[in-house]
Amino acid sequence: MSEVVGPEGGRMRELLRVGPGTVDLTAIDPRSTPGLPAAAGRGPTRKEWARAQVELIGAELGRQQEMLYASAQSAAGPGGATSAPAQADAGLDGNRPRRVLLVLQAMDCGGKDGTVKRVAGAMNPLGLHIRSFGPPTEEELRHDFLWRVRRALPPPGYVGVFNRSHYEDVLIARVEGLVDEATWRSRYAIINDFERELTEQAVTVVKVMLHISYDEQGERLMERLTDPAKFWKYNPSDLDTRARWGDYQAAYAEAFERCGTDAAPWFVVPADRKWYRDWAVAHLMRETFDGLDLGYPPADFDVERERDRLRSQRRE
């Protein structure tokens, strides 16, 4: 197998996108495999096939990421100003270098870290900007809830990955009663304005919820309690969160309904099968990059002249 095989039944951005209106997560089977082609085969061979495909897609993502980064570097120019050739480059939106932001949300054990490792890990770390969001610090609590998020945005030309995100402020803040209902309800509109602002600044936002089942989460938690090498991954509070599974599912569903926009849609990836999760997210990112129509920036110097200079140089 030496080439990437596309999904069947449509693009992953269509197959996994949350539609408008009320969202019912119980209607999405966490063990399903939307878009998986017949070429994947059956049984264990599907896992091997998918992992090999992720490696191939990863090479493509790395090339696209390099073009994104190169365009931004060219736009900056030697003195930091946008150069004229770079303005016309496909990696720019007007005078603004593009950025890509992958937002990952999931219940505990949903596979956010694994997705970052296997999908984002295929890209050049020099062009990656990965941030995780835990409980806010005292300093962060003194500001509005988006303050720390804005500070974590990727620079121009970078691919950013949020392991958890601003959506924690309408998920855990809601379920655990960290703020009153009027406050967390007001945040939906604020988030929509924020994400619209990002798209206007040439940031392409890809929001992914890794959807695992209650039973699968239980098995993964038990692994963490059985394997000493995984004790560090376990937190007793995980069971407190698990006890409110239904409340969190309802919070996710409303977040999708309120904040699934054309500018920044939500995608739900069935994630009980780790190999499918990685394959699906890799394709989502591949399709996202393809939609940017990126290219390497043209030289802003005389190429022939520089070649002649190089040929004429002699070691002293």
d(CA 89, CA 280): 29
Query: What pLDDT sits at residue 287?
Result: 97
**Rounded mean pLDDT of 208-234?**
97
DSSP string of 135-155, one letter each residue: SPPHHHHTS-TTHHHHHTPPP
Kindly report, residue by residue over 60-113, the tens digit of the pLDDT.
999 999 999 998 988 776 544 443 333 334 455 656 789 999 999 999 999 999
Least confident of 88-92, 255-259, 283-287: 88-92
* Residue reference for tokens 């599974």: 245
Least confident of 45-49, 87-91, 309-313: 87-91
Which pLDDT band, with edges at 50, 70 and 90, does 20 fall under? confident
Query: What pLDDT sits at residue 83?
Result: 37
Least confident of 32-36, 43-47, 249-253, 286-290: 43-47
Query: What pLDDT sits at residue 96?
Result: 77
Question: Which amino acid, one-letter code, is at 92?
Answer: L
d(CA 176, CA 148): 20
Direct distance between the N- and C-terminal alpha carbons of the chain, in angstroms, rounded to an integer? 50
Q: Are 102 and 68 in contact (CB under 8 A)?
A: no
Q: H helices of the chain, where?
A: 12-15, 44-76, 84-87, 112-118, 138-141, 147-151, 172-175, 181-200, 214-226, 237-242, 245-259, 274-292, 303-312
Kindly report, residue by residue over 130-170, the tens digit of the pLDDT.
999 989 999 999 999 999 999 999 999 999 999 999 999 99
Mean pLDDT value across the chain: 91
Higher local confidence (pLDDT), 316 or 95: 316
Question: Which amino acid, one-letter code, is at 192?
Answer: N
List the structure tokens of 78.
Answer: 């030697």
The residues pairing with 99 across neighbouring beta strands, listed in sequence order, are: 203
